[in-house]
Amino acid sequence: MSGLLPTLLTQKGKFTLPEDIHYLNCATRSPLSKTVEQAGLDAVRRDTNPFGLRPDDFFSGAMRVRSLFSQLINNPDPERIAVVPSVSYGMAVVARNLPTKPGIRAGQRIVLIGSEFPSDVYAWDRVCAELGLTITTVTIPDGFPKGAIWNEQLLDAIDSDTALVVAPPVHWMYGTRFDLEAIGKRARDVGAWLAVDGTQAIGALPFDLAAVQPDAVICAGYKWLMGPYSLGLAYYGPAFDEGTPLEEGWMNRLDSNQFHRLMDYQPVYRPKAYRYNVGEHSHFLQMPMLEAALAQLTDWQPERIQFYTEALMRDAWPALEALGCRVEPLNGNRGRAHHLVGLWLPDHADPMAIQQALLAEKVSVSARAQALRIAPHVYNTPNDAEALVRVLTKVLV
């Protein structure tokens, strides 16, 4: 963490979470802040009277959102950002264009990590069948700690027969970090594409596009971007500049803001990632909410969010380890993050039963396999961390 950044204090007052709720579950869905809520209410009120709506109003909100998201990921070119409804949509764009990747051939492999989110797995079935590709899944190591070994095994799996690597900054279930700079370099060295699902990291963990150099980054907006559901963003690099979109939206064509000439059908797309925008991407209700959320995050800054969540949970982890739980140690880009941590329970424990016991005490976390997923944010206070430890002590001892 940089010592030059001012410390971020609790932001609980900017949310309307009830005082007796201990919501440590941002990895499932972020609560909307008061600012984002107000942006949505204002948008609804505007839509009750669309008089005076101009053609450029269909485009301006998304332009501002592209710019804000670009700041978060260190992307110098907002035109490389597309508006997507979901990760599955964004990954489908990658799959649609994989057949045109230079050097693609039957027998090559798509490399995935084990226990990945389904949208990052189902996307490849059809293109594998069409192109004669196979899937290589790098499963989670049996031992503990897991991060360094898992990273090395992933790097070892990327070779000259690899067409595509799909990897996140942070595993969605366990919080394990993946060294995307090293993975990106290995992918480039062998001529493979790298697609990153940034949903469980971007917004809360620093992400440097220039350092990673991925071909695609897809991010749902309702988790760590702290925006509304069914709206996300995707970066598409130069490999996709002349690619094929999933749909032929009229807004994605050149001069589409000239409504009086829409009948002059335009064969040329707007440049770069614009062709991959979902139809009706203006999202007059949701886009102002996402804009407000991204503006908030650029003020808070992911690095300060990491620092806040590290300090918040600093005493909780050793207390929980004393109960027989385990957490991945800190090990840079190959250890764990602070905003999403997999708490591995003792072998005898039933994660679903423990999740229910926590919910009965108004502590919200997620059960994933043999781990609890703990996902704090800046609206949490030490009282939330203490409640987690208190209830787990009661059910595990």
Taking alpha carbons only, the member of 118, 196, 113 closest to residue 158 is: 113
Count of domains for the chain: 2
Peptide bond into 145 cis (omega under 30): yes
Q: What is the CA radius of gyration of the chain?
A: 22
DSSP-derived secondary structure letter, 215: S
Distance, in Å, from the CA atom of 81 to the CA atom of 272, rounded to the nearest integer, reads 8
Is the model's pLDDT at 330 over the cut of 90?
Answer: yes
Is the model's pLDDT at 160 over the cut of 50?
Answer: yes
Count of beta carbons in the 10 Å neighbourhood of residue 360:
10
Tell whether 253 and 322 lie within a shared domain: no
- Residue 104: give the domain boundaries: 57-297
Peptide bond into 118 cis (omega under 30): no
- Of the three residues 273, 297, 321, the one that is the final residue of a domain is 297
Taking alpha carbons only, the member of 230, 243, 277, 292 closest to residue 83 is: 277
CATH for 363:
3.90.1150.10
- What's the whole-number average pLDDT of the chain? 97
Count of beta carbons in the 10 Å neighbourhood of residue 356:
12
Residue 180, in any domain of the structure: yes
Tell whether 250 and 381 lie within a shared domain: no
Residue 214, in any domain of the structure: yes
Write down the residue that tokens 């971020």 correspond to.
8
Mean pLDDT of 14-26: 97
* Residue 382, token pair as written in the block: 């030490």
pLDDT in the model for residue 2? 47
Distance, in Å, from the CA atom of 27 to the CA atom of 207, rounded to the nearest integer, reads 17
Tell whether 311 and 340 lie within a shared domain: yes
pLDDT single digits (tens) 348-371 = 999 999 999 999 999 999 998 889
Residue 46, in any domain of the structure: no
Tell whether 26 and 163 lie within a shared domain: no
- Of the three residues 281, 297, 313, the one that is the final residue of a domain is 297
- Of the three residues 275, 297, 319, the one that is the final residue of a domain is 297
pLDDT single digits (tens) 81-132 = 999 999 999 999 999 999 999 999 999 999 999 999 999 999 999 999 999 9
pLDDT single digits (tens) 214-223 = 999 999 999 9
Tell whether 292 and 306 lie within a shared domain: no
Is the model's pLDDT at 1 over the cut of 50?
Answer: no
Tell whether 350 and 205 lie within a shared domain: no
Residue 7, in any domain of the structure: no
Tell whether 275 and 263 lie within a shared domain: yes
CATH for 107:
3.40.640.10
Taking alpha carbons only, the member of 83, 48, 86 closest to residue 67 is: 83
Mean pLDDT of 276-299: 98
Residue 4, in any domain of the structure: no
pLDDT in the model for residue 3? 52
Is the model's pLDDT at 383 over the cut of 70?
Answer: yes
Tell whether 17 and 65 lie within a shared domain: no
pLDDT single digits (tens) 67-95 = 999 999 999 999 999 999 999 999 999 99
pLDDT single digits (tens) 239-255 = 999 999 999 999 999 99
Residue 49, in any domain of the structure: no
Mean pLDDT of 35-48: 97
Contact 78, 66 (CB under 8 A): yes
Record the pTM. Answer: 0.96
Mean pLDDT of 52-56: 94
Residue 41, in any domain of the structure: no
Distance, in Å, from the CA atom of 281 to the CA atom of 268, rounded to the nearest integer, reads 18
Distances (CA, A) of 171 to 115, 174, 297, 306, 342: 9, 6, 21, 16, 9
Considering the chain, what percentage of its residues have pLDDT values greater than 90? 97
Distance, in Å, from the CA atom of 287 to the CA atom of 85, rounded to the nearest integer, reads 11
Residue 313, in any domain of the structure: yes
Terminal-residue alpha carbon distance, the chain: 35
Tell whether 214 and 327 lie within a shared domain: no
Tell whether 235 and 325 lie within a shared domain: no
